[in-house]
Amino acid sequence: MAIASDAKASARLSAAGAGRSIAGTAASRALSPVARERPAHVPPPVQVAPLGGDVVVRDRRR
């Protein structure tokens, strides 16, 4: 009987984890070091590739 209840509990946890994995990915992105340095109202920097080919990161605040 204990084995059956453990199987049900693990099935519930895996089903709950499937929904959490997407939310967890978004949360980990939100808590990344780069995102934490910037206030929420400041947009992320934009990467611009000029005709020369080197990628230049420009800040939208300017």
Higher-pLDDT residue of 25 and 48 is: 48
Span 30-51, pLDDT tens digits: 555 555 566 667 777 666 666 6
Q: Which of helix, strand or coil describes residue 1? A: coil
Question: Which pair of structure tokens corresponds to residue 48?
Answer: 């611009």
pLDDT attached to residue 31: 57
Report whether pLDDT(24) > 60: no
Which burial class, exposed, middle or buried, applies to 28 when counting CB atoms under 10 A from its CB (0-12, 13-18, 19+)?
exposed
Q: Check: CB of residue 56 under 8 Å from CB of residue 47.
A: yes
Rounded mean pLDDT, 20-27: 56
| Domain boundaries, position 16 | 2-58
Report whether pLDDT(59) > 60: yes
- The number of folded domains in the chain is 1
